[in-house]
Amino acid sequence: MSNTTVGREPIQVFEIEQPSCSNTYGVAPCTAAGASKCFNTRATCQDTQNYNQDDTIFWRFTHPQRDLIDTFEEGVSVLKTTAIPSLKSVSTVPTKINAGGGSDDLSVLGRRASVKIALSDHQYDDSFSDKYVDERPYVAFDVGTFWGKWLKRNKYFTAFTCRIYEGYRGETLDEMITKTYVIDSISGASSGGSVSITAKDPLSLADDKRAICPQTSELELYQTINQAQTTGIILFGTESDVSDILGSTGINRYVRLDDEIILYTGYTVDADRYTLTGVVRGQLGTTASSHNFDESAQRVIRYEAQPSWQIASDLILNYSSVPSSYIDMTAWDAEGNLWLSPFNFTGTIAEPTAVVDILEELTRDSMFYIWWDERTQEIRMRALSPVSGEIEGISSETNIIKGSFSLSSKPDQRLSRVIIYYNQKDPTAGDDEISNYANVRVVVDGDAESEFLYNEVRSSSVFSRWLVSESQTLQVSTRTLAAFADTPEYMTISMDAKDRNIWTADVINVTADQIQDEFGQVETGLWQVIAAEEIQYGDTIRYDLRRFTFQINRAAYWTANDQVDYIDATESERLAGNAWWSDEDGLMPNGDDGYRWT
């Protein structure tokens, strides 16, 4: 059975990944010897020195239904339970991408996905949760409830991984669509016997409360120094705050004292005092000055000529608890090298800053976006770039569910000019002070501002610590204006599960009866899925789309020297991003449109 089977029977399974100790109570290395045995969880451990999390229990829950699906699996250190039929509902707030930052009601990073799961509380016989169930002096089924016991035994559940599986009867869980989240909170059980679990996408681990860059240093100046001193600069505190290699500058490390940034290349140790060596004062646009003992010192992160997307991945992986498995660096590099090569950034972060704020700057200043793809279980990155190749199409005839179509526009998101302040002078000064930037670039769409078109000025100002060259600012401002010159349009539709392969960030051709040209003919256009949600699991998916404005006619890039002539090239070669010069009329030898330089 699959999404295209007539009479398909949708299945939804919720899973919690619970760490469990592999030791046996009282058997070496476990030295516990209490009156009652533990439940192999940290909260019930009686020998915390030897506690491990080598085993995992995958708790699985499904909706009450006839012929429960068999989800039990057992492997080395892994126990995946039979599905408990206590799942009441799963409601999701899907990831919503904000490509180009056009939507003011969302951050540049878009909206984080979240999910709320409601489950019934119930009696439970501890089959999977208690290794010693048959040794207890009580009958587990008659004592307490599943969630009452589970919450007490697993009080450190925050950040447990959980998953939603959505598929059809007859499919294995591996064949179903899997969406991965991180548990944020568990409420209940309520007097009605319900438990509510809230979980967020793993990119939320980079949220400001959890991820800071650079971390606040536990360092102080040990003795007073003057503005010329390059030796005898002693810091007191935690050695890792002195030794850590941050950013991309290797052993060229930076530390901030008040408004001065000092470069050092090494240090010597005397107890918990560290004397800096290789010191150069007043670096990165700051001025050397004297400093008093006890003054706090803060490590500074600097990236020099680094690809923007690689800075983003470094921040996510090294300054938040997002696992490295969630980023496919090969895919990021492929996308970045193809579309973002002009964006090698140099920038300094001189004070503890939320990682999410830095990510917003990077995505805004180099025209890419990142989002949590709950289906591929990856943080994905894509440049604001044209799409090529075969594009899937949908229509009112065969895809859009009756009564689900609506169209809207947001004039407030339109832009007619972009102002970029760049070449930051002093990273310790205010980020949004015009005087702290050496250059400014203004790009205006005069036609759009004229009385014949929109007859108003709509501007966006950007203060960038990362942009350093005129060519970079030209790229950003031109692409931004091209994308937002016209009023952004949004569409909401629902489609049957047969089309569930279409998902967030996909660009599709839409032919809807309600979208017409000036002659009243139905017009097909490119739209990008900015959010997708299974509003009825396995049956109906709701899509939010935005008209795709990053498309250009025949986008291409430099190709190999031995490329065949245009007239001899196959159609797929012509569409695959290869470019040839057109004639003076902008046409190819056979009359095709020429390629466009971007």
Partner 1 sequence: MAVVISSSLVMSLVDPDAPDLTHARIGYEKLSGTPSASSASSGFPASAANNALTYSFWKPETLPATWEIDFGSTQSMDYAGIAAHEFGTKGNTVALEVWSGTEWVEVDSTAPVDDKPIMFIFSELTISKARIVVSGGTVPRVGVVYTGMALVMERAIYGGHAPITLSDQTEYTTNASERGQWLGRSIKSNGVATSYQWANLTAAWYREYFDPFVKSARTQPFFIAWRPETFPEEVAYCFTGSNISPKNTGERDVMSVSMNAEGI
Q: Which residues bind partner 1 (CB under 8 A)?
A: 3-4, 6-10, 64-68, 72, 74, 79, 81-85, 123-125, 127-128, 133-134, 139-141, 396-405, 495-498, 512-513, 536, 538-540
Q: Please identify, using beta-carbon distances, which residue of 134 and 568 lies nearer to partner 1.
A: 134
- Minimum distance of partner 1 from residue 206's CB (angstroms): 36
- Minimum distance of partner 1 from residue 120's CB (angstroms): 12
Q: Please identify, using beta-carbon distances, which residue of 109 and 400 lies nearer to partner 1.
A: 400
Question: Strand, helix or coil at 316?
Answer: helix
Q: Please identify, using beta-carbon distances, which residue of 131 and 547 lies nearer to partner 1.
A: 131
- Minimum distance of partner 1 from residue 7's CB (angstroms): 5
The amino acid at residue 228 is A
Nearest to 428 by CA among 312, 287, 236: 287
Q: Please identify, using beta-carbon distances, which residue of 84 and 279 lies nearer to partner 1.
A: 84
Q: Please identify, using beta-carbon distances, which residue of 123 and 337 lies nearer to partner 1.
A: 123
Instruction: Give 505's strand partners.
Output: none
- Minimum distance of partner 1 from residue 539's CB (angstroms): 4
Q: Alpha-carbon dihedral of residues 501, 505, 508, 512, nearest 10 degrees? A: 100
- Minimum distance of partner 1 from residue 116's CB (angstroms): 21
51-63 core/surface letters (b: 16 or more CB in 10 A; e: else): beeebbbbbbbbb
Q: Alpha-carbon dihedral of residues 582, 586, 592, 597, nearest 10 degrees? A: 70
CA distance 540 to 534: 6
Under a CB-based contact definition with an 8 Å cutoff, are residues 243 and 207 in contact?
no
- Minimum distance of partner 1 from residue 503's CB (angstroms): 17
Mode of pairing for the β-strands spanning 417-424 and 253-257:
unpaired
Q: Please identify, using beta-carbon distances, which residue of 7 and 520 lies nearer to partner 1.
A: 7
Question: Strand, helix or coil at 326?
Answer: helix
CA distance 21 to 26: 13
Q: Please identify, using beta-carbon distances, which residue of 3 and 217 lies nearer to partner 1.
A: 3
Q: Please identify, using beta-carbon distances, which residue of 72 and 557 lies nearer to partner 1.
A: 72
- Minimum distance of partner 1 from residue 169's CB (angstroms): 8
- Minimum distance of partner 1 from residue 126's CB (angstroms): 8
CA distance 140 to 126: 6
CA distance 433 to 480: 22
Q: Please identify, using beta-carbon distances, which residue of 65 and 478 lies nearer to partner 1.
A: 65
Return the number of other C-beta atoms located less than 10 Å from residue 256's C-beta. 24
- Minimum distance of partner 1 from residue 61's CB (angstroms): 10
- Minimum distance of partner 1 from residue 23's CB (angstroms): 15
- Minimum distance of partner 1 from residue 442's CB (angstroms): 45
What's the maximum distance between 2 C-alpha atoms anywhere in the chain?
A: 92
- Minimum distance of partner 1 from residue 513's CB (angstroms): 7
Q: Please identify, using beta-carbon distances, which residue of 119 and 315 lies nearer to partner 1.
A: 119
Q: Please identify, using beta-carbon distances, which residue of 65 and 238 lies nearer to partner 1.
A: 65
446-450, long-range: CB within 8 Å, 24+ apart, which pairs? 448/414, 448/416, 448/485, 449/416, 449/417
Nearest to 503 by CA among 328, 382, 340, 361: 382
234-255 core/surface letters (b: 16 or more CB in 10 A; e: else): bbbbeeebbeeebbbbeebbbb
Please give the DSSP secondary-structure letter assigned to residue 92: E
- Minimum distance of partner 1 from residue 111's CB (angstroms): 27
CA distance 555 to 578: 8
Q: Please identify, using beta-carbon distances, which residue of 168 and 332 lies nearer to partner 1.
A: 168
Under a CB-based contact definition with an 8 Å cutoff, are residues 288 and 311 in contact?
no
466-472, long-range: CB within 8 Å, 24+ apart, which pairs? 466/308, 466/345, 466/346, 466/347, 466/361, 466/362, 466/365, 466/366, 467/345, 467/365, 467/420, 467/422, 467/423, 468/345, 468/346, 468/422, 468/423, 469/422, 470/439, 470/441, 471/342, 472/342, 472/343, 472/422
Its sign, for the CA torsion 149, 34, 136, 52, is positive
Q: Please identify, using beta-carbon distances, which residue of 78 and 338 lies nearer to partner 1.
A: 78
